[in-house]
């Protein structure tokens, strides 16, 4: 195997490992549109599309996470709802603080939540990474 290929493989592996390490586990809840009903902490009344989320106060970090994109994946349910998760990941943009969120919880738009989870599940376990 040539040296360049080895270097590339090592690089690829370490990028993979880094994203595993940085993924944070928590829970996700969701909210219904209209998404711009009151001024959001990050963007006021500006429409940011539908793939958006509110961050718990720690994650929000005084607004420092505004506009950051997180990849979110469903890991399992928090109750007895059958088939809580759908496969795949979504990418959402942080647009506001979620004061009602618990630690490590994120508040997804219904559009975002419904792509990775069953709406009936209400709250699911997720991991998220930038
Ligand atoms: C999620 O965000 C919506 C819109 O800002 C808000 O009304 C709702 O209370 C939030 N959910 C929680 C659990 O705080």
Using the mean position of ligand 1's atoms as its centre, give its distance from the Cα of residue 96 in Å. Answer: 10
Using the mean position of ligand 1's atoms as its centre, give its distance from the Cα of residue 57 in Å. Answer: 12
Cβ 39 vs Cβ 82: under 8 Å? no
Predicted pLDDT of residue 76:
98
Cβ 65 vs Cβ 90: under 8 Å? no
Q: Characterize the bridge pairing of strands 105-109 and 124-129.
A: unpaired
Among the atoms of ligand 1, which is closest to the Cα of residue 96? 5
Mean pLDDT (whole number) for 105-129 = 98
What are the distances in angstroms from CA 79 to CA 1, 25, 82, 121? 50, 17, 9, 7
SS3 content of the chain, % helix, strand, coil (to 5): 30, 35, 35
Distance of CA 8 to the CA centre of its chain: 29
Residues 14-52 pLDDT 10s? 777 665 567 999 999 999 999 988 888 899 999 999 999
Name the architecture of domain 22-129. Beta Barrel (2.40)
What's the pTM?
Answer: 0.85
Provide the percentage of residues in the chain whose pLDDT is more than 70: 95
What are the distances in angstroms from CA 52 to CA 6, 79, 80? 39, 24, 27
Domains of the chain, residue spans:
22-129
Using only the alpha carbons of the chain, give its radius of gyration.
17
- Residues touching ligand 1 (Cβ under 6 Å) are 29, 31, 54, 96, 98-101, 107
């Amino acid at each position: 195997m040539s040296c360049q290929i080895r270097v590339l493989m090592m690089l690829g592996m370490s990028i993979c490992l880094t994203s595993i390490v940085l993924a944070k586990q928590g829970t996700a809840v969701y909210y219904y549109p209209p998404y711009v009903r009151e001024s959001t902490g990050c963007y006021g009344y500006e429409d940011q599309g539908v793939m958006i989320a509110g961050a718990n106060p720690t994650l929000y970090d005084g607004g420092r996470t505004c506009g950051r994109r997180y990849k979110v994946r469903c890991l399992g349910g928090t109750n007895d709802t059958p088939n809580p998760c759908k496969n795949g990941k979504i990418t959402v943009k942080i647009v506001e603080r979620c004061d009602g969120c618990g630690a490590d919880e994120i508040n997804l738009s219904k559009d975002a939540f419904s792509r990775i989870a069953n709406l009936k599940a209400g709250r699911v376990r997720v991991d998220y990474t930038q």
